[in-house]
């Protein structure tokens, strides 16, 4: 029986590709699917790409019934872009999950896998600085004014309540900051940064980084999108889980300078000028981290093992950017 993937963005598209590679025909469900961007990642002839909204229970019930869905991987979300509207973020990120959970409960879907986030921990870091590796038992708290983080906390807790009180099988991998190839809309600062660095370097331009949102001090928890896809599918399939929350990052954390250095290896002569101090945390947060995220629980219970590291991911990104430029030049 097929898996429903809500959200045909970067993560949803890579999950679909990984399922296709396993011989499955997943169902991608999105309110405004970008067929061109999705089609770069997965063969559209081998998936079902359907239009619908997680805010419309009729849409959800219909697709689950019509496609005989037995698992849902819920990736649909409003990302923390500068123009994101708070009321819409709360509706989609919280009530969208509630609708998914209600539909799953009504139609006996076997498991809902929800894309939670390590931003859950961010608000607690100033009050409870981590002394060692950050586990799933680390304190969770909001960052005042950061609606995206608050919706992620609220949604995960609602999902856990549906599991505890109503028996919905709910699993919440807490994803690091997702990065990798994607030509659709940018949301996360790392996506904006990579595009700026690579495109500028390929153009032979000096790239100036002057936005605090795009830099960070210490080392941060990123996760390549192909590692994300692996983790979400493993969370779908794992049996006899002892826990419902799992940290999901790459095998190690990365400093800001490592991204620049890795790009220089592939684009000799690339020039980068950083005009803001690396004194804050990722995406303008206050927390500067050097402690790693502990992914041992995911390794043990899900069988998760990060396969793509910084070197491979950057090489892949630059190869893709060069191919796109070559294709554009041929058609212009």
| pLDDT tens digits, 260-280 | 999 999 999 999 999 999 998
Range of lowest pLDDT (76-90, 194-208, 286-300)? 76-90
User: Which band of pLDDT confidence, cut at 50, 70 and 90, is reported for residue 330?
Assistant: low
The CA distance from 38 to 13, in Å, is 6
Residue given tokens 């950057």 in the structure block: 314
Which pLDDT tens digit goes with each residue over 106-156? 999 999 999 999 999 999 988 888 889 999 999 999 998 899 999 999 999
- Are 176 and 318 members of one domain? no
Q: CB atoms < 10 A from the CB of 180, how many?
A: 25
Q: How far from chain centre, in Å, is Cα 198?
A: 21
Which pLDDT tens digit goes with each residue over 225-274? 999 999 999 999 999 999 999 999 999 999 999 999 999 999 999 999 99
- Cα dihedral 141→146→152→154 (10° resolution): 60
Q: What is the pLDDT of residue 62?
A: 97
Tokens of 108: 């006996």
- Are 144 and 73 members of one domain? yes
118 contact partners, CB below 8 Å, separation of at least 6 = 134, 174, 175, 176, 177, 221, 247, 249, 293
Is 60 among the domain residues?
Answer: yes
User: Which band of pLDDT confidence, cut at 50, 70 and 90, is reported for residue 102?
Assistant: very high
The CA distance from 278 to 267, in Å, is 23
- Are 115 and 84 members of one domain? yes
Q: What is the pLDDT of residue 266?
A: 97
What average pLDDT score do residues 156-172 get?
98
- Are 55 and 100 members of one domain? yes
- Are 121 and 207 members of one domain? no
Q: Average model confidence (pLDDT) for the chain?
A: 95
DSSP-H helix ranges across the chain: 10-21, 35-41, 57-66, 86-90, 96-106, 147-166, 189-202, 225-237, 256-266, 296-297, 310-331
Is 281 among the domain residues?
Answer: yes
Q: What is the pLDDT of residue 332?
A: 58
Is 331 among the domain residues?
Answer: no
What average pLDDT score do residues 268-297 get?
92
Q: Which helix (H) or strand (E) holds 172?
A: strand 170-175
Exposed e or buried b for every residue in 42-69, given b needs 16+ CB within 10 A?
beeeebbbbebbbbeeebbeebbeebeb
Is 123 among the domain residues?
Answer: yes
- Are 109 and 75 members of one domain? yes
Q: What is the pLDDT of residue 4?
A: 98
Q: What is the pLDDT of residue 262?
A: 98
- Are 49 and 117 members of one domain? yes
- Are 38 and 165 members of one domain? yes
Domain residues for the domain of 262 are: 189-216+254-286+314-326
Q: What is the pLDDT of residue 198?
A: 98
- Are 266 and 146 members of one domain? no
Is 238 among the domain residues?
Answer: yes
122 contact partners, CB below 8 Å, separation of at least 6 = 141, 143, 146, 149, 281, 285, 287
CATH number at residue 24: 3.40.50.720
Q: How far apart are the first and last CA of the chain?
A: 44
- Are 298 and 212 members of one domain? no
Q: What is the pLDDT of residue 188?
A: 87
Overall domain count for the chain: 2
Q: What is the pLDDT of residue 296?
A: 98
- Are 115 and 232 members of one domain? yes
Position 20 pLDDT exceeds 80: yes
Share of residues in the chain with pLDDT > 70 (%): 99
Is 273 among the domain residues?
Answer: yes
- Are 200 and 145 members of one domain? no
Is 23 among the domain residues?
Answer: yes
Position 82 pLDDT exceeds 80: no
The CA distance from 173 to 140, in Å, is 15
The CA distance from 47 to 64, in Å, is 15
User: Which band of pLDDT confidence, cut at 50, 70 and 90, is reported for residue 15?
Assistant: very high
Q: Which residue has the higher pLDDT, 294 or 79?
A: 294
- Cα dihedral 135→138→142→147 (10° resolution): 20
Packed helices 147-166 and 96-106: angle between N→C axes, nearest 10 degrees: 20
Q: What is the pLDDT of residue 242?
A: 98
Is 303 among the domain residues?
Answer: yes
Q: What is the pLDDT of residue 218?
A: 94
């Amino acid at each position: 029986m097929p898996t429903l993937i809500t959200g045909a963005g970067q993560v949803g598209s890579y999950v679909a590709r990984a399922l296709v590679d396993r011989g499955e025909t997943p169902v991608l469900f999105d309110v405004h699917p970008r067929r061109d961007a999705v089609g770069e990642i997965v063969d559209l002839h081998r998936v079902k790409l359907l239009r619908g909204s997680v805010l419309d229970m009729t849409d959800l019930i219909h697709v689950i019934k019509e496609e005989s869905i037995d698992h849902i991987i819920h990736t649909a979300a409003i990302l923390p872009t500068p123009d994101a509207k708070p009321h819409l973020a709360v509706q989609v990120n919280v009530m969208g999950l509630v609708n998914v959970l209600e539909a799953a409960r009504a139609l006996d879907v076997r498991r809902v896998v929800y894309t939670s986030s390590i931003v859950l921990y961010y608000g607690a870091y100033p009050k409870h600085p981590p002394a060692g590796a950050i586990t799933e038992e680390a304190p969770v708290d909001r960052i005042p004014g950061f609606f995206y983080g608050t919706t992620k906390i609220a949604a995960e807790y609602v999902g856990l309540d549906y599991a505890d009180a109503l028996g919905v099988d709910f699993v919440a991998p807490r994803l690091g900051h997702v990065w990798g190839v994607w030509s659709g809309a940018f949301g996360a600062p790392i996506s904006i940064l990579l595009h700026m660095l690579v495109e500028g370097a390929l153009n032979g331009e000096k790239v100036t980084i002057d936005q605090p949102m795009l830099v960070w001090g210490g080392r941060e928890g990123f996760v390549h999108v192909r590692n994300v896809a692996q983790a979400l599918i493993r969370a779908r399939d794992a049996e006899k889980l002892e826990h419902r929350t799992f940290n999901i990052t790459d095998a190690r954390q990365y400093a800001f300078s490592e991204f620049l250095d890795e790009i220089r290896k592939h684009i000799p002569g690339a020039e980068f000028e950083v005009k803001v101090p690396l004194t804050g945390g990722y995406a303008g947060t206050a927390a500067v981290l050097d402690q790693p995220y502990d992914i041992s629980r995911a390794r043990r219970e899900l069988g998760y093992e990060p396969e793509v590291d910084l070197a491979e991911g950057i090489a892949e990104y630059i190869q893709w950017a060069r191919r796109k430029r070559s294709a554009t030049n041929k058609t212009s």
